[in-house]
């Protein structure tokens, strides 16, 4: 499905299989993506602010430049994901099932959690 640039604000996509979906620049703010399968998707510049990605599979996903402001990534699988240049202000990311390949400057993945050690927060 081509969902690029789609407005999916407040959508309930809990446990959805989105592996074939094109979500480039989609607006998924406040969406429930709890347990969703987003493996290998291109979420470049996607708005995921306030989204619930608890337990979601984001392995190999491109989240470069995505807006993850106040996003819940608890128990998510971020193995091999690209979060470079993502807005990660107030992200909650603990008990991860894998660490991202790339993170924004100032972030590390340690003890299955994303930790900000830079300045400015």
pLDDT at 117 over 70: yes
Angle at the Cα of 41 from the Cα atoms of 24 and 83, rounded to 5 degrees:
80
pLDDT top residue among 67 and 20: 67
CA distance 67 to 85: 9
CA distance 112 to 100: 10
Please write the tens of the pLDDT for every residue from 39-97: 999 999 999 999 999 999 999 999 999 999 999 999 999 999 999 999 999 999 999 99
> pTM, whole model, 2 decimals?
0.94
Residue 120 confidence class, pLDDT cut points 50, 70, 90 = low
DSSP state of 26: -
């Amino acid at each position: 499905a081509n969902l690029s640039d789609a407005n999916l604000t407040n959508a309930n996509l809990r446990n959805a299989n989105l592996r074939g979906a094109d979500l480039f620049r989609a607006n998924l703010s406040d969406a429930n993506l709890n347990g969703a399968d987003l493996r290998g998707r291109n979420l470049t510049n996607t708005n995921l602010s306030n989204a619930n990605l608890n337990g979601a599979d984001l392995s190999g996903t491109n989240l470069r430049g995505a807006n993850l402001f106040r996003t819940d990534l608890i128990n998510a699988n971020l193995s091999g994901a690209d979060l470079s240049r993502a807005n990660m202000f107030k992200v909650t990311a603990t008990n991860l099932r894998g660490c991202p390949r790339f993170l924004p400057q100032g972030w590390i993945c340690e003890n299955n959690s994303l930790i900000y050690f830079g300045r400015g927060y």
